[in-house]
Amino acid sequence: MTQYSKRMVIVHWLTLVLLITGWFLGEELAEATDESKATLLEYAVHALVGASILLLTLARLIFRSKDGTPPATGQSALDKFAKGIQHIMYLILIVLPVSGMTTIITSDAGKALLAGDASLLPKEGGYEHVFAHEVHEVMVTVLIVVVTVHLLGAIKHQLIDKDGLMERMSLRRKG
């Protein structure tokens, strides 16, 4: 096997799109919350994106076990570091949506969503004592760092090593 399965590739890129979408939605939601202008729809859509990321991550782990993965490109310390980054990314892609769901459940956001009443939504400082929200915010920052390292590794393989590693995550199949 020289490439990931088609379904692994699709889930990889779809997860990226949802992560970017979720990040932008989260930034907008945080600003709207601070200005007391957040809506139930904003919370619901952000939560739906997060739940989708969690489901896709779990699906990807199942696909990895069923479809297998291409062999490692090497055994150097840098290759082992890259593998560690991959594992950390999977962990974050589980913890991040779970912490978001826990935030909703343990804050006024959950009450507002259940009641269908936007006036109950948290306002500025409304998450000060919600531990899951702190975890969620930290995980976003850690994910940005980990994804940046992942991206830099992919660029290194493409432009410096020129080893075709990026083709493993492509829908275009080798002949």
How far is C-alpha 73 from the chain's CA centre? 25
> What is the maximal distance between C-alpha atoms in the chain?
58
pLDDT value at residue 42: 96
pLDDT value at residue 2: 81
pTM (2 d.p.): 0.91
- Closest to 116 in 3D by CA, of 38, 40, 33: 40
Instruction: Note whether 109 and 51 are within 8 A (CB).
Output: no
Q: In the structure encoding, which two tokens stand for residue 50, read together?
A: 């997060």
pLDDT value at residue 1: 56
Tokens 């593998």 belong to residue: 83
* pLDDT tens for the chain, residues 1 to 175: 588 999 999 999 999 999 999 999 999 999 999 999 999 999 999 999 999 999 999 999 999 999 998 887 778 898 899 999 999 999 999 999 999 999 999 999 999 999 999 999 999 999 999 999 999 999 999 999 999 999 999 999 889 988 877 888 888 876 5
